[in-house]
Chain A
Amino acid sequence: MVATDDNKLQELKSYMDICKEKEYPDSQLIAILHKAQALYGYLKRETMDEIAVHMNIPTAHIWGVATFYHYFNLKPVGKHIISVCLGTACYVKGAGKILDAIKRHLNIEVGETTEDKIFTLQEARCLGACGIAPVIMIDEKIYGELNEAKTIELLKKYEKIQ
């Protein structure tokens, strides 16, 4: 485990070195945070410290940016991320009920991860698939034209694979 984490840090550092070469290196902060999240799955406090030292940006500023944007996770996430689209089209077609059904089924609230670390539940602001509303996205895959029963079936399929 330690070795892979070292590799990740190495990769992050070489990415930051490229950013430093560019004009206005500080402006690359959001790109660096994207990179860090892609590597670790979420933004650890330690990672932010590493970035702070390497880029010469105060951790306080990095923390401010990381907490401002919804895309960044500050806590570890589960194996699968469920994003329930709450865009308008999905909402008028019953996305709220689907969200409630998932909450009941997994017994977690939005932003939380199940105890077995399989699912993390998130809200999404329009996935751009309004034509097949209501939709949810599990990891990168979009499932559309759902209702409460179909959604639970879907989750059960994912649970079975484990």
Chain B
Amino acid sequence: MKKRNVRAEKTITFCNGPGCMHLESTKIIDALKQELQKRDLSYKDVKITISGCLGMCEQGPIVIVNPGYIIYGKVKLSDVSQIVEEHIIKNKPVVRLTIEQNHLYNRFFRVFGDIDFFGKQMRIALRNCGIIDPENIDDYLSVRGYEALAKVLTDLTPEQVIEQIKISGLRGRGGAGFPTGLKWEFTRKAAGDVKYVICNADEGDPGAFMDRSAIEGDPHSVIEGIIIGGYAIGATEGKVYIRAEYPLAIKRLEKAIKDAREHGFLGKNILGTDFSFDIEIRLGAGAFVCGEETALIHSIEGSRGMPRPRPPFPSVSGLFGKPTLINNVETWTNIPVIILDGAKWFSSIGTEKSKGTKVFAVAGKIKNTGLVEVPMGTTLREIVYDIGGGIPNGKKFKAIQTGGPSGGCLPEAYLDVPVDYESLSKAGSIMGSGGMIVIDEDSCMVNIARFFLEFTQNESCGKCTPCREGTKRMLEILTRIVEGKGQSGDIEKLERLGETIKKASLCGLGQSAPNPVLSTIKNFRHEYEEHINDKKCTAGECQALLSYTISDKCIGCTACKKVCPVNAITGQVKNKHIIDQQKCIKCGQCVQACKFDAIVKG
């Protein structure tokens, strides 16, 4: 094995998630390097590492100084010299820049500062994200990396590994929540000499970026999990199917696989045992349906990614017709922890039927957007208000959408539902892969439902009729409702179509596509009725149902008249203008042009 790097006295970690990168964290890194050079500090004194997304996008750019886990937020170029001068040299953290602290909560897995945002979180899957340098295998080794693999290969039989996973109660994090241990057992017991392991990193849900962050922040955990899975089911080859849209994740994964090979964790006779295993990366090409396991397999085989009926399940006949074990990225990252810290410990976290933690990508109308990992059983209210910081701009909470385009919208009454597979599905939504979108009073639920259906309709592969044709008809009805052409009976038609599509579709995409529509009808029926009967959209989102008028605030500056693309605005200079409602196409450009808030939308 290679000699380990000398541990630097201080480590400065930069978050390189898209949020921080956008805020030009790279420029700050360059400035820091210059500053260190100026003071003759070498890499032995201070080490600079780059981490994956830390989830605090709202506070970016984030800089962490270790030891001590001092977290700085909203760091500017001009702050760099002060951080070096006071923190690095004099050992006094720059309090002005640290993120607000609260010492009351601290249920965090590995101590990660006392910030509210992390207080109610528990990081298992993302345990190393932001702590280690994802491009340095030595860093991973220093946090007990590949120890679980060593333990498995030397102390446990494959059956014992599967037994551990079963005891842990781990369930698939891709959305459906199938017990992972059982899946492993089925694949182990399936007849066949050649078997495959697949990591599903085709994270397609709009609004979800958990897997991306896990791979960018800690690729080795995923790899270690996959190797253990390979050993347990008796496979010698693994594939990671990842979206082509994630270039950084692909790059880091490639490097991690190469490093693991060089260190003897992948390849022939791993760690000197008889077990051989290697991993190959396969790129997706932008098809949402490829997240479905049988479609994913077809895609790896080089065909159109279309699902097929199950059974036979992939555990019996999968990739190239061989028994195949498919698990999602987050599921894989949990494996080494279960082996190392014990299945019983893992099963002590969470609720009766849902064990461990779940990562959510919380976004939309919420103060702290980003990634959160919470124990199963945490309520939606805790996520939205305690961790997420509530709704910005004093707006009112309206709904929370979980599970992406396959999930549902839950109104305020459901905020105290604990997050686990059963409770969410009882409430009318799903756990899904972990997207969580907060919606406030400014958003129209009919429009949101239409948005999700437009997505699934577009992504429907076209193989089975209920999904291909049914979603299209539903979309037509929804479109006419938001355009103010809704007819009585439309709601009932949507419900009937939705139920049929759910029952008759071939794969998960179709079976869940009507969920956003059905759940919004159930919880926000009055909004549909308002659109259809009164031709009104209270949230003010449906353009066709709006009308623009000019109030007495108008001073006659003619700014609106100039931008109107259809010449619907008339009026003399210094006189109040008027909008011709017949001509107006409701594009809203006049509202933007008006400096006096004189144009009223309603």
Q: Which A residues form the contact surface with B (CB < 8 A)?
A: 24, 26-31, 33-34, 61, 64-65, 68-72, 86-89, 91-93, 97, 100, 104, 124-133, 135, 140, 142-144, 148-149
* Contact between chains at B287 and A69 (CB < 8 Å): yes
What chain A residues lie within 8 Å of B285 (beta carbons)?
30, 33-34, 69-72
Partner of A34, one of B205, B283, B401, B565: B283
A27 to B311, CA, bound (A): 23
Do A92 and B448 touch across chains, with their CB atoms under 8 A apart?
yes
In the complex, are the beta carbons of B282 and A65 less than 8 A apart? no
Q: Are B435 and A92 in contact (CB under 8 A)?
A: no
* CA A104 to CA B448, docked complex, whole Å: 24
Chain B residues 164-213 with CB under 8 Å of chain A are 203-209, 212-213
- Name the distance in Å between B586's Cβ and chain A's nearest Cβ: 11
User: Given known contacts A87-B206, A130-B363, is B18 in contact with A27 (CB within 8 Å)?
Assistant: no
B600 at interface, CB cutoff 8 A: no
Q: Are B365 and A131 interface neighbours, CB within 8 A?
A: no
Most buried by B among A27, A65, A70, A149: A27
Q: Tell me which of B205, B365, B369 has the highest count of chain A C-beta atoms within 10 A of its own C-beta.
A: B369
Closest to A24 in B: B320
- Can you list 7 pairs linking A and B with CB atoms under 8 Å apart? A34-B283, A69-B305, A71-B245, A88-B404, A129-B57, A132-B60, A142-B21
CB proximity of B437 to chain A, nearest CB, Å:
5
With beta carbons under 8 angstroms apart, the residue of A26, A28, A72, A142 that contacts B18 is A142
The complex places the Cα of A156 from the Cα of B73 at a distance, in Å, of 31
Cβ–Cβ < 8 Å partners of A31 in chain B: 282-283
Bound-state CA distance A130–B369 (Å) is 7
**Chain A residues, Cβ within 8 Å of B526:** none
**Residues in chain A near residue B282, CB distance under 8 A:** 30-31
The answer to the question of B364 belonging to the interface, with a C-beta cut-off of 8 Å to chain A, is: yes
Cβ B304 vs Cβ A88 within 8 A: no
* Given A70-B286, A126-B208, A128-B18, 16 additional A-B pairs, CB 8 A: A27-B301, A27-B302, A30-B302, A64-B303, A65-B304, A68-B287, A68-B304, A71-B244, A88-B451, A125-B204, A128-B203, A129-B18, A130-B209, A132-B23, A133-B364, A135-B18
Q: Is B475 an interface residue (CB 8 A)?
A: no
Whether the pair A92, B364 counts as a contact (CB closer than 8 A) is yes
Partner of B58, one of A30, A71, A131: A131
The 3 A-B pairs with the shortest beta carbon distances in the complex, nearest first, are A131-B57, A69-B285, A89-B363
B439 at the interface (CB under 8 A from A): yes
Against A, the Cβ 8 Å flags (1 = close, 0 = not) of B1-37 are 0000000000000000111011100000000000000
The total number of A-B Cβ pairs within 8 Å is: 145
CB-CB nearest in chain B for A87: B206
**Residues in A whose Cβ lies below 8 Å from that of B204:** 125-126
Residue of A with least CB distance to B442 = A92
Of A86, A125, A131, which one neighbours B19 at CB under 8 angstroms? Answer: A131
Complex alpha-carbon distance, A130 and B22, angstroms: 12
A128 and B244 alpha carbons, distance in the complex (Å): 13
Contact (Cβ within 8 A) A132 B57: yes
Chain B 384-422 residues near chain A, CB threshold 8 A: 401, 404
- Given the interface contacts A33-B285, A68-B304, A88-B364, does A142 sit within 8 Å of B207 by beta carbon? no
Q: Which of A33, A93, A124, A127 contacts B364 (CB 8 A)?
A: A93
Bound form: Cα–Cα A128–B215 in Å: 13
B304 touches A126 (CB 8 A): no
Which B267-308 residues have a C-beta within 8 angstroms of A?
Answer: 282-288, 299-305
CB proximity of B226 to chain A, nearest CB, Å = 19
Identify which of B60, B287, B439 contacts A70 (C-beta below 8 A).
Answer: B287
Task: Give complex CA distance A33, B287 in Å.
Answer: 15
A40 to B419, CA, bound (A): 47
How far does the alpha carbon of A64 sit from the alpha carbon of B437 in the complex, in Å? 35
For the complex, is B500 an interface residue (Cβ under 8 Å from A)? no
- Tell which of B17, B443, B461 touches A92, judged by Cβ atoms closer than 8 Å: B443
A34-B283, A68-B305, A132-B19 given as contacts; is B206 within 8 A of A88 (CB)?
yes
Residues of A within 8 A of B23 (CB): 132
Interface string of B416-460 (1 = CB under 8 A from A): 000000000000000000010101000100001001100100000
B302 & A65 in contact (Cβ 8 Å cutoff): yes
Which interface residue of A89, A91, A133 has the most chain B CB atoms within 10 A?
A89
B298 smallest CB distance to A (angstroms): 10
Residues of A within 8 A of B18 (CB): 127-129, 131-132, 135, 142, 144
Contacts of A140 in B (CB 8 A): 247
Residue of A nearest to B247 (CB): A140
- The answer to the question of B370 belonging to the interface, with a C-beta cut-off of 8 Å to chain A, is yes
B533-575: CB near A (< 8 Å → 1, else 0) gives: 0000000000000000000000000000000010000000000
Say whether B361 faces chain A, with CB atoms less than 8 Å apart: yes
User: With an 8 A cutoff between CB atoms, is B108 at the interface?
Assistant: no
Write out, one digit per residue, whether chain B residues 365-387 have a CB within 8 A of any chain A CB (1) or not (0): 10001100000000000000000
B435 touches A88 (CB 8 A): yes
Shortest CB-to-CB span from B165 to chain A, Å, is 29
Q: How far is the CA of A125 from the CA of B58 in the complex (A)?
A: 21
With a CB–CB cut-off of 8 A, which chain A residues contact B283?
A: 30-31, 34
Q: Does B82 contact A (CB under 8 A)?
A: no
User: A123: nearest residue on chain B (CB-CB)?
Assistant: B458
CA of A127 to CA of B203 in the docked complex: distance in angstroms? 11
Convert B211-239 into 0s and 1s, putting 1 for each residue whose CB lies closer than 8 angstroms to a CB of A: 01100000000000000000000000000
Q: Chain B residues near A64 (CB, 8 Å)?
A: 303-304
Cβ of B592 under 8 Å from chain A: yes
Which B residues between 57 and 79 are near A, CB-CB below 8 angstroms? Answer: 57-58, 60
Query: Which one, B365, B455, B461, contacts A125 given CB within 8 A?
Result: B455
State whether the Cβ of B313 lies closer than 8 Å to any Cβ in chain A.
no
The answer to whether the Cβ of B524 comes within 8 Å of any Cβ in the partner chain is: no
Query: What is the bound-complex CA distance between A126 and B18, given in angstroms?
Result: 12
Q: Which residues of the partner chain A approach B22 to less than 8 Å between Cβ atoms?
A: 129, 132, 135, 142-144
Q: Tell me whether A144 and B363 are in contact in the complex, defined as CB-CB below 8 angstroms, given that A29-B302, A87-B206, A88-B401 are known contacts.
A: no
Contacts of B300 in A (CB 8 A): 27
